[in-house]
Amino acid sequence: MRAWAVRLLYRACREENTSHARARQLLRAWLSPHQKIQFEANGFFDVLGCHSGKRYRIRRGTSANINELDGNGQLGPGWCFVPAGALAEGDVMLAQKIALETNEQGALDIANRFPGPMRWRGPFASHPRSHPMAERAQPAGQDARNASLTY
């Protein structure tokens, strides 16, 4: 029992000492109490642009993870800008937060804009048989309406 507890403690310490874990800790340290609640509950937080006063939602991720919010809190156009280098997710999100809160116009000047909101769909989102792999995925000798699709 004691060896098991020591192993769990060692694993927890090792996992908290990764670059990704340290980046998450740093991000959380920079979030306001409200942003921290949003992030823990939903995986995103909102920031106010320093020049326009627009609200932006930063979602977990390292690219194409920022959307403008309209007056009703609905997702609008998206923005994609990231710092140079291969950074952990938390570091990228922190850089995006600081950029929008301190130099909104500079960040948007270099950002790529995309229509929003983006809805990511899986390969079978519309109908299983409309996917090019659907025919190959059918189990042999079964009716397509009753077959479960597997790869």
For residues 138 and 121, give the distance between their C-alpha atoms in angstroms, rounded to a whole number: 21
> What would the pLDDT profile of 81-126 be if each residue is shown by its tens digit?
999 999 999 999 999 999 999 999 999 999 999 997 766 555 544 4
> Residue 51 sits in which domain range?
19-118
Residue 123 lies in a domain: no
Q: Confidence class of residue 143 from pLDDT cuts 50, 70 and 90?
A: very low
The confidence score (pLDDT) of residue 71 equals 92
For residues 101 and 120, give the distance between their C-alpha atoms in angstroms, rounded to a whole number: 28
Pairing of strands 66-69, 55-59: antiparallel
Determine the Cα angle at 111 with ends 106 and 113, to 5°: 130
Say if residue 56's pLDDT is above 70.
yes
Determine the Cα angle at 143 with ends 137 and 149, to 5°: 30
Residue 139 lies in a domain: no
Q: Specify the number of domains making up the chain.
A: 1
For residues 4 and 83, give the distance between their C-alpha atoms in angstroms, rounded to a whole number: 41
Q: What is the dihedral of CA 77, 62, 83, 105, to 10 degrees?
A: 20
Residue 147 lies in a domain: no
The confidence score (pLDDT) of residue 135 equals 44
Residue 4 lies in a domain: no
The confidence score (pLDDT) of residue 12 equals 60
Residue 80 lies in a domain: yes
Q: Where are the alpha helices (DSSP H) in 2-81?
A: 2-16, 19-30, 33-42
- Determine which of 49-53, 99-103, 115-119, 141-145 has the lowest per-residue pLDDT on average: 141-145
Q: What is the mean pLDDT of the chain?
A: 80
Q: Confidence class of residue 137 from pLDDT cuts 50, 70 and 90?
A: very low
